[in-house]
Chain A
Amino acid sequence: MNSLLSISVAAILIVFALPLAADSDVPDDTPANEPVRVEKDIFHPPVRLAAEDGVIDCGPSWGHAGPWVEDVDGDGVKDLIVGDFSGFLRVYRNLGTNKAPRYAKAINLQAGGKDAQVPIY
Chain B
Amino acid sequence: MDFDGDGILDLVSGSYDPGEIYLFRGLGKGQFAARETIVDKSGKPILRVPNQKERVESFGSWMAMVDWEDRGVLDIVVGTFDGMMFLRRNEGSRAKPAFAATNEWVHAGGKPLRVPGGAHANPVIADWDGDGLWDIITGSADGGVYWYRNVGKRGRPEFALPVALVAKHDGIGYSELLEPDRDPKPGIRSQIAVVDYDGNGKLDLLVGDFCTNLHIKKQLTPEQRGEFQSVRDRQAKASKQLGDSMGDLRKRYDEVMKDVPKSEWHTPENSKKWTQMYQEMRTSEAYKKHRSEYESLQKDLLQFVDGRGATMRDIPDVPHGYVWLFRRK
Near A by CB (< 8 A), chain B positions 240-262 give 246, 250, 253-254, 261-262
Whole-angstrom distance between the alpha carbons of A111 and B274 in the complex?
Answer: 39
Determine if B42 is an interface residue (Cβ-Cβ < 8 Å): no
List residues of chain B with CB within 8 A of the CB of A34: 116, 161
The answer to whether B81 and A15 touch across the interface, beta carbons within 8 angstroms, is yes
Contact status of A67 and B193, CB under 8 A, knowing A19-B253, A19-B265, A59-B320: yes
Stretch at the interface among B12-20, B221-229, B297-305: B12-20
**Residue from the set A39, A87, A89 with the largest chain B CB neighbour count within 10 Å:** A39
List residues of chain A with CB within 8 A of the CB of B324: 46-49
List residues of chain B with CB within 8 A of the CB of A24: 261-263
Whole-angstrom distance between the alpha carbons of A11 and B1 in the complex?
Answer: 30
Mark contacts of A95-111 with chain B using CB atoms, 8 A cut-off: 1 yes-contact digit, 0 otherwise: 00011110000000111
The residue in chain B whose Cβ has the minimal distance to the Cβ of A99 is: B199
Binding site for A on B (CB under 8 A): 1, 9, 11, 13-18, 20, 22, 24, 28-35, 48-52, 56-57, 59-60, 81-84, 102-103, 105, 108-109, 111-118, 122, 144, 146, 160-167, 183, 186-187, 189, 191-193, 195, 197-199, 204-212, 246, 250, 253-254, 261-266, 271, 274, 278, 309, 311-313, 318-329
The residue in chain B whose Cβ has the minimal distance to the Cβ of A79 is: B30
Binding site for B on A (CB under 8 A): 1-2, 5-6, 11, 14-15, 17-28, 30-39, 41-44, 46-49, 55-74, 78, 80-85, 87, 89, 91, 98-101, 109-114, 116-121
- Determine which of A19, A61, A65, A116 lies in contact with B35 in the assembled complex, contact meaning CB atoms within 8 Å: A116
9 chain-A/chain-B pairs, Cβ below 8 angstroms: A26-B48, A33-B108, A46-B325, A47-B327, A59-B321, A60-B309, A63-B189, A72-B9, A111-B33
The answer to whether A62 and B319 touch across the interface, beta carbons within 8 angstroms, is yes
The residue in chain A whose Cβ has the minimal distance to the Cβ of B159 is: A33
The answer to whether B15 and A35 touch across the interface, beta carbons within 8 angstroms, is no
**Residue from the set A22, A60, A69 with the largest chain B CB neighbour count within 10 Å:** A22
Contact status of A46 and B329, CB under 8 A, knowing A33-B109, A33-B113: no
**Residue from the set A18, A27, A70, A87 with the largest chain B CB neighbour count within 10 Å:** A18
- Determine which of B114, B206, B311 lies in contact with A30 in the assembled complex, contact meaning CB atoms within 8 Å: B114
The answer to whether A43 and B323 touch across the interface, beta carbons within 8 angstroms, is no
Distance in angstroms from B67 CB to nearest chain A CB is 19
The residue in chain B whose Cβ has the minimal distance to the Cβ of A49 is: B323
Known: A41-B329, A65-B323, A67-B206. 8 other contacts (CB 8 A): A24-B261, A33-B108, A42-B165, A57-B320, A63-B189, A63-B321, A69-B197, A80-B323
Contact status of A15 and B327, CB under 8 A, knowing A55-B322, A60-B309: no
Distance in angstroms from A57 CB to nearest chain B CB is 6
- Determine which of A17, A37, A46 lies in contact with B207 in the assembled complex, contact meaning CB atoms within 8 Å: A46
Whole-angstrom distance between the alpha carbons of A67 and B28 in the complex?
Answer: 21
List residues of chain B with CB within 8 A of the CB of A28: 262
Whole-angstrom distance between the alpha carbons of A67 and B311 in the complex?
Answer: 22
**Residue from the set B17, B56, B113 with the largest chain A CB neighbour count within 10 Å:** B17
Whole-angstrom distance between the alpha carbons of A18 and B264 in the complex?
Answer: 13
The answer to whether A32 and B321 touch across the interface, beta carbons within 8 angstroms, is no
The answer to whether A74 and B322 touch across the interface, beta carbons within 8 angstroms, is no
The answer to whether A39 and B122 touch across the interface, beta carbons within 8 angstroms, is no
Distance in angstroms from B45 CB to nearest chain A CB is 12
List residues of chain A with CB within 8 A of the CB of B210: 62-65
The answer to whether A33 and B115 touch across the interface, beta carbons within 8 angstroms, is yes
List residues of chain B with CB within 8 A of the CB of A118: 13-15, 22, 35
